[in-house]
Amino acid sequence: MALSDMSLEELERLEVVLDEPADLDEFWRTTLEQAAAHPLDVRRAPVATRLTTLVHEEFSFAGWGGDRVNAWLVRPAGVPGPLPAVVEFIGYGGGRGLAEDRLTWASAGYAHLVVDTRGQGAVWGGGGATGDPAGSEVSAPGFTTRGILDRDTYYYRRVFTDAVRAVEAARSQPDVLADAVSVTGTSQGGGIALAAGSLAPGVRAVMADVPFLSWFRRAVLVADTEPYAEITRYLAVHRDRVEQVLTTLDHFDVAHLVARAGAPALVSVALMDRTCPPSTVWAAHRRYGLRGGGRCELAVYPFNGHEGGQSHHWRRQLEWLAGQLA
């Protein structure tokens, strides 16, 4: 395995210039106002497990269009609340899995909300439990081209809105510290976390590990693996719709959205990552907080691919978030 894109020295010299859509703020303001017309309608129910140190609950809320989004809420047993919370979003194709799958954040004393990605959960892991009732026009296999000809119908409009609603749902709970809700995720989950941290008010901190969904216009030119290759394959067929597609993607590009972020962030990049090319992650890092004032710390893994730092990075996240909350 070799460098997939640029060396760290080349990244540090890279000038990231993006043409942000003029209507980006208005588009997301309108989108979130439409979502807010539906009550959050949070529902919680106990889940029995054999894990005696943690409490598990089935957790759901109304996402985009009032559609039900499912999650797990995991908390340390016997620890009085309210607790700081971590809302986690999932990598491409995966779902929230089994209740027992993710234990670290709750074991460290947090309320941990593990959120499904609508329509996903049948590619890897323990599965998902949230459908996507919205249909789409013709698309390539996968999720990245669903509804891609129009910003209003694009799949990630619903996903990012669900993520903002997940943060709101967590903050609304009496056993959660409303001013200490952070977001995290890896790959697609990292991109969703960056979007949520930029669009949802009151996020305390953002942790995005080797994030997807950044600098689309470059990614589709330099990434030769899925999921970006889904878009490349679509454009290879729809030769007359290239700019239409790229204009849609501009409204969901986290390299644009993160300029609005005000919370501190920890982002990781792997220099041998063929799935999320380092230059695309770098763009999100460099543009983070340009308008919102948030600062972004970058963790670099020179000899890793899309697996990133794994347990080494998760340990770093635990230390980093404790520092932010202190």
Q: Are 211 and 179 in contact (CB under 8 A)?
A: no
Identified catalytic residue from 182, 187, 268, 279? 187
What 98-103 contacts at long range (C-beta under 8 Å, 24+ apart), as own/partner pairs, is 98/126, 98/127, 99/47, 99/49, 99/56, 99/72, 99/74, 100/49, 100/51, 100/56, 101/125, 101/126, 102/72, 102/74, 103/51, 103/54, 103/74
Among this protein's residues, is 311 annotated catalytic? Answer: no
Q: Cα(260)–Cα(289) distance, rounded to whole angstroms?
A: 6
Looking at the DSSP assignment, which residues form a beta bridge with residue 240? none
**Choice among 112, 256, 306, 313 that is catalytic:** 306
The b-or-e profile of 230-250 (16+ CB within 10 A means b, else e) is: bbbbbbeebeeeeeebbebbb
As a whole number of Å, the CA-based R_g of the chain is 19
| Cis before 174? omega within 30 | no
Length of the chain, in residues: 326
Task: Give the C-alpha separation, 69 to 129, whole Å.
Answer: 8
Whether 187 is catalytic: yes
Q: Which of 198, 273, 279, 313 does the annotation list as catalytic? A: 273
Q: Cα separation of 259 and 285, whole Å?
A: 10
Specify whether 251 is catalytic: no
- Residues annotated as catalytic (active site), given as ranges: 187, 273, 306
